[in-house]
Amino acid sequence: MSPIKTEDIVKAITAATTGIAQISTIMPTLTAAYAVLHGIWQKANPEGTFAEFNAYLLEEATNDVTWGISWMALHGYIKDENGNWVKAPIISV
């Protein structure tokens, strides 16, 4: 096994630093949005727990994914062997 090149280490560190910087710039927005959603949910469900709120978010996210899959299929898309959505070939009879 050959040693890792310094250039590859620098590239990896730069990529990681860039990724962390991008995440850190959007985190306040994501946290605020999460707090707003929780506040709205709490008003509708004053007795609800935080765990119930998180379970609700997970359920709705799953519903969105299911809806998205249905929409893609309805509009003629299929998943290829890599899991990517591609337009289904038109089959003439």
83 and 54, same structural domain? yes
The answer, as to whether pTM is greater than 0.85, is no
2 and 38, same structural domain? yes
* Residue-range definition of the domain harbouring residue 36: 1-46
6 and 39, same structural domain? yes
Residue positions counted in the chain: 93
- At 2, the pLDDT band (50, 70, 90 cuts) reads confident
Task: Please name the residue that has the structure tokens 């710039």.
Answer: 25
pLDDT of residue 86: 92
Total domains, the chain: 2
42 and 65, same structural domain? no
42 and 12, same structural domain? yes
3-state secondary structure 37-85: HHHHHHHHCCCCCHHHHHHHHHHHHHHHHHHHHHHHHHCCEEECCCCCE
35 and 59, same structural domain? no
40 and 2, same structural domain? yes
Q: Which residues have a Cβ under 8 Å from the Cβ of 72 and sit 6 or more positions away?
A: 85
> Above 70 in pLDDT, residue 89?
yes
